[in-house]
Structure 1
Amino acid sequence: MSIASHPYPEVKIERCTGCGRCVAACPERLFTFKVVGYRKHATLTAPERCTQCGKCIVECPFNALS
């Protein structure tokens, strides 16, 4: 994650399975789920509050956060 280009994690929707590990890992509780059709994926609700700790990126087993 490059702080200069993106100061907060981005969810790659095509890779996200909606497992919830990023939701559980985020100490600020900034993630929630968004349902599109029959599929859910994580979404960052308040990117301006992100502390850039990187815990969500580390916990994602599907490399869906960058």
Structure 2
Amino acid sequence: MPESAAPAINIKRCSGCGRCVAACPERIITLETENHHKHAVITEPQRCTDCGACIAACPIEAISSEPFSP
């Protein structure tokens, strides 16, 4: 069975702008605040269709596609 891919967010780089949240058709990305720093979080990577919308929407290239094994 081939591996699936899911977005990986570099939280140190993420500015928390929310563009990836708005772009995701599956609605699996949310914004969270940790130590006064807002960043995106993938809530259900297994539901990702690897469409790349979040990657394209990120203005600072804080998201990449990574292999995901359920």
Match of 1:49 in 2: 47
Match of 1:10 in 2: 8
Q: Please, which runs of 5 or more residues in structure 1 have no aligned partner? A: none
Superposition TM-score, scaled by structure 2 size: 0.84
Superposition TM-score, scaled by structure 1 size: 0.89
Match of 1:59 in 2: 57
Match of 2:25 in 1: 27
Q: Please, which runs of 5 or more residues in structure 2 have no aligned partner? A: 65-70
Partner Cα distance (2:53, 2:31) in 1 = 17
Q: Which amino acid aligns with 1:41?
A: H
Compare the two structures and name the one with the higher strand fraction. Answer: 2
Partner Cα distance (1:59, 1:34) in 2 = 18
Deviating above 6 A after TM superposition, structure 1's stretches of 4 or more consecutive aligned residues are none
Identity %: 52
Query: How well do the aligned residues superpose, as a CA RMSD in angstroms?
Result: 1.5
Instruction: Indicate the structure (1 or 2) with the bigger Cα radius of gyration.
Output: 2
